[in-house]
Chain A
Amino acid sequence: MASDNHSDSGNSNSNGNNSGNNFKWDPLRFLSKKPDEVLKKVDDRLDELEKEYFKGKKDKEENLPNIFGIYGVTRRDFLKWSAFLTSALMLPYIFEPRVARAANILTRTPFIWLDMADCMGNTEAFLRNANPTPAEIILNYVSVNYMESIMAPAGYQAEARRTETVKKYKGKYILVVEGAIPTGMDGKFLTIGAKGDTGLKITKETAKHAGVIIAVGNCAAYGGIPAANPNPTSAVGLSSVTNRSVINIPACPANPVNLVGTLVEYLLIGKAPQLDNLGRPLWAYSGRLHDNCYRRGHFEAGEYVRQWGDDGAKKQYCLYMMGCKGPFTWNNCTTAEYNQDISFPMRAGHGCIGCSQPKFWDRMTPFEKPNADAKIIIPGVEATADEFGVGLFAAAGAGIAAHAIYTGVKKKKERNNNKSKNENNDDSKKNNDKKE
């Protein structure tokens, strides 16, 4: 494991086997062993991208101030934010100005955002915000070539725009998919646009030539709510319909920091970040919430909220008994937090519902009860593990009692029989003694 010839594992853009199994974190992303070389590579890449997407120096330098100016975000705010993102990405601090440059480039990179079977909660969360953070502002100003919810063209024009982008920026555009893809009936549960193409067809076509493919939200990553049992439309996550590698940014909605961070990293190093075995970037999803939760001390101390609004709740005791699924969930909510350091579920007083894990709607429910109260899945059994266990235990107890009584009764009978026999036959007495 510890050997050096492992450095190529960072190249695996694959959606899987870079898992906890052979997890080796490299803050330099396996670009090179020499930090100077890494910086040079990154700088060269950024120079190239800047040349491509900006019309001269002025354009490049005024782009972000123009955008942020509208929202009253100062340069200082932006620098603070890019420092925050640098540390969230687990990059050395020297990358901070480079992260800022990448964020600038991100606003010009061709971008396609597809909506599949979903509630558009991610779109809503990113775009409709009274106090948007730099991450959300950047998402608002990416040069969206196709995004149904905000683009001006409609119908055939919109479609044309998409196919044109795919053709023109082959291998360069960023593809973000939100929502699950129904595959039942050849995908006909979801048809989009003037031609009535299926979501399945559109995602496949668009994914083919994308530079990087990102599934944002639990539905796109793992099927989410559309794929919840019994999944009538056979909805699946994006990685199941394309054989290209997909970066999953699950959660409901995904944290904008995680999406922008991943895009920034892609621009910096030109490849997908290191992923865990569920296809999620390690920098954001390698920590278990329960292990990074500020209420963990109360968990260890045996101090639990027992009822909404009880004294324990006021004292911010642990939400384990209120069904917190933090122990089963990997995400950075507790450290990066939502709405940029404002809050996250446990801080707001509600347990985690495990929204960044596959099948959370089936596996993490009931949301407000401890996991031990969940129904176990054995065909024909509708009970919690304990109800079923106690039931079996009672049945076994009853069986044992019945057997004991049966044994007792039968022995008594035998003894009576023997007694009557023994009166006639002295000899047999010895034998019976032995047998018993």
Chain B
Amino acid sequence: MQNKNSKYAEIQLVHRMTVIKRIIHWSFFAAIINNIITGFYIAYPFLIFGKTPTQADSLSTGVLNSGETYQAFIMTWMREFHFIGAVIIDVIFFVWLYLAFFSWKEPLYKSFIPFGDKMEEAWRMLKHYFTLKDRPETGKYQDPLNAIIFTFFHLLILLQMLTGFQMYVASFTGTSAVGAWWPWLLHFSTDWTLVVFGGLTGVTLVHLFIMWLIIIFIVYHIYIEVWRSVMWKEGDILIPFGGYKYMRNKSGSE
């Protein structure tokens, strides 16, 4: 897609995110923010309902007057929304995993192979972050450094899913509305977390701690995309909106 204008002759458009990927990106975002808020509430019920005076007379011990117990199922709602968010996250994780290999347009593995070269390039990108010099060229696919970091992030999500499902299956007794295979599957795939993290309390703490790693990732992710947009003037921040970014490669111009 060459631009006719001579000043911008070397700028090209690259397609980076299909519609499906953009939908995934923003549903993931919404679900994770939702799970951070609701999960935090489950860990520390910061809104305390109740009408009794000592429970409602200070900000930290009660801000909402709910009326009678049966009228206020705040924890139920928080857990409900946490689980709805969890379902979205689970589905997206598996779709991501599929697309990482079988996407027609931009499979993630293309950013990893050939492995040695791509690691080298990731290292150069990291150096570029700190020296602002020698920027690796923008290619057709995601740059390897981002690919590595996003993969690591998805592993965090996977761990969050596994610990989450272990907590979830805790209230099952042998069978479920859809049959015994469901709790069996959850036990089968997540019981190892009990051994590794030291019982259900440890699993819960790991779940809570990974939440912080996820929050840190989100902040880093937004920062670095803004930074790239500012520094490279290639409109990286536009990718999840329009699907395209620009490419200004030296090789194109000189």
**Majority DSSP secondary structure for residues of A touching B:** helix
Quick check: is A374 within 8 A (CB to CB) of the other chain? yes
Q: Are A303 and B49 in contact (CB under 8 A)?
A: yes
Report whether A301 and B73 are in contact in the complex, using a CB–CB cutoff of 8 Å: yes
Q: What chain A residues lie within 8 Å of B208 (beta carbons)?
A: 372, 385-386, 389
Give residues of chain B (165-201) contacting chain A, Cβ–Cβ below 8 Å. Answer: 169-175, 179-181, 183-184, 187-188, 191, 198-201
Q: Which of A20, A287, A370, A400 contacts B219 (CB 8 A)?
A: A400
Q: How far is the CA of A265 from the CA of B248 in the complex (A)?
A: 78
Within 8 A of A (CB), among B94-108: none
The answer to whether A434 and B253 touch across the interface, beta carbons within 8 angstroms, is: yes
Contacts of A1-28 to chain B: CB distance below 8 A = 1-2, 19-25
**Which of B52-60, B81-89, B143-151, B237-245 makes up part of the contact surface?**
B52-60
Residues in B whose Cβ lies below 8 Å from that of A393: 212, 215-216, 219
Nearest chain B CB to A25's CB is how many angstroms away?
Answer: 6
Rounded to whole Å, the gap between the CB of A284 and the closest CB of chain B is 13
**How distant is the Cα of A348 from the Cα of B13 in the complex, in angstroms?**
69
Give the contacts of B203-236 with A (CB-CB under 8 A).
Answer: 204-206, 208-209, 211-213, 215-216, 219-220, 223, 227, 231, 233
A436 contacts B by Cβ under 8 Å: yes
How many angstroms between the C-alpha atoms of A299 and B77 in the bound complex?
A: 12
Q: Mark contacts of B18-61 with chain A using CB atoms, 8 A cut-off: 1 yes-contact digit, 0 otherwise.
A: 00000000000000000000000001110111101111000001
**Contact B174 A286, beta carbon cutoff 8 Å:** yes
| Interface check A45, CB cutoff 8 A | no
* 0/1 interface trace, chain B 61-78, chain A, CB 8 Å (1 if under): 100001001101111100
With both beta carbons as reference points, the residue of chain B lying nearest to A406 in the complex is identified as B130
Contact A312 B55 (CB under 8 A): yes
Tell me, in angstroms, the Cα distance from A358 to B52 when the chains sit together. 38
Q: Answer whether A302 and B74 are a contact pair too, CB < 8 Å, given A19-B187, A363-B199.
A: yes
Known contacts A317-B50, A359-B198, A363-B198, A407 near B75 by CB under 8 Å: no
Q: Are B231 and A407 in contact (CB under 8 A)?
A: yes
Residues of A contacting B201 in the complex (Cβ-Cβ under 8 angstroms): 325, 328, 354, 363-364, 371, 374
Given contacts A306-B48, A310-B54, contact A301 B220 (CB under 8 A): no
Contact across chains for A312 and B52 when beta carbons are under 8 A apart: yes
A410 interfacial contact with B, CB 8 Å: yes
A120 within 8 A of B: no
By beta carbon, the residue of chain B nearest A20 is: B187
Chain A 348-373 near chain B by CB (<8 Å), digits 1 or 0: 00000010011100111000001110
A386 to B210, CA, bound (A): 10
In the assembled complex, A377 has its CB within 8 A of some CB on chain B = yes
Complex Cα–Cα for A304 and B54 (A): 12
Evaluate contact between B174 and A411: CB separation under 8 angstroms: no
B121 contacts the other chain (CB 8 A): no
Please tell me if the beta carbons of A371 and B212 are within 8 angstroms of each other in the complex. Answer: no
Which chain A residues border B200 with CB–CB below 8 Å? Answer: 327-328, 357
B199 CB contact (under 8 Å) in A310, A311, A359: A359
**B132 CB–A CB distance under 8 Å:** yes
Candidates A20, A310, A396, A436; contact of B174 at CB < 8 Å: A20
B174 touches A301 (CB 8 A): no
B186: nearest chain-A partner, CB-CB: A20
Task: Return B144 CB to nearest CB of chain A, in Å.
Answer: 20
**At the interface, yes or no: B90 with Cβ under 8 Å from chain A?**
no
Residue A341 is within 8 A (CB to CB) of chain B in the complex: no
A321 to B45, CA, bound (A): 8
Tell me whether A363 and B202 are in contact in the complex, defined as CB-CB below 8 angstroms, given that A302-B72, A404-B227, A411-B132 are known contacts: yes
B129 in contact (CB, < 8 A): yes
User: Closest chain B residue to A297 by CB distance?
Assistant: B69
Measured CA separation A434–B11 after assembly (Å): 10
Closest to A399 in B: B220
Query: In the complex, A188→B22 CA distance in Å?
Result: 66
19 contacts between A and B (CB under 8 A): A21-B188, A300-B75, A301-B72, A302-B48, A302-B72, A303-B55, A312-B54, A315-B52, A327-B170, A359-B199, A370-B43, A370-B44, A374-B201, A376-B209, A386-B208, A393-B212, A400-B220, A400-B223, A403-B223
User: Apart from A303-B49, A372-B205, A400-B219, what 4 extra A-B contacts exist at CB < 8 Å?
Assistant: A302-B75, A325-B201, A396-B216, A404-B227
List chain A positions with a Cβ less than 8 A from chain B.
1-2, 19-25, 277, 286-288, 290-291, 297-304, 306, 310-312, 315, 317, 320-321, 325, 327-328, 354, 357-359, 362-364, 370-372, 374, 376-377, 385-386, 388-390, 392-393, 396-397, 400, 403-404, 406-407, 410-411, 414, 434-436
3 closest A-B pairs (Cβ-Cβ)? A389-B212, A302-B74, A311-B52
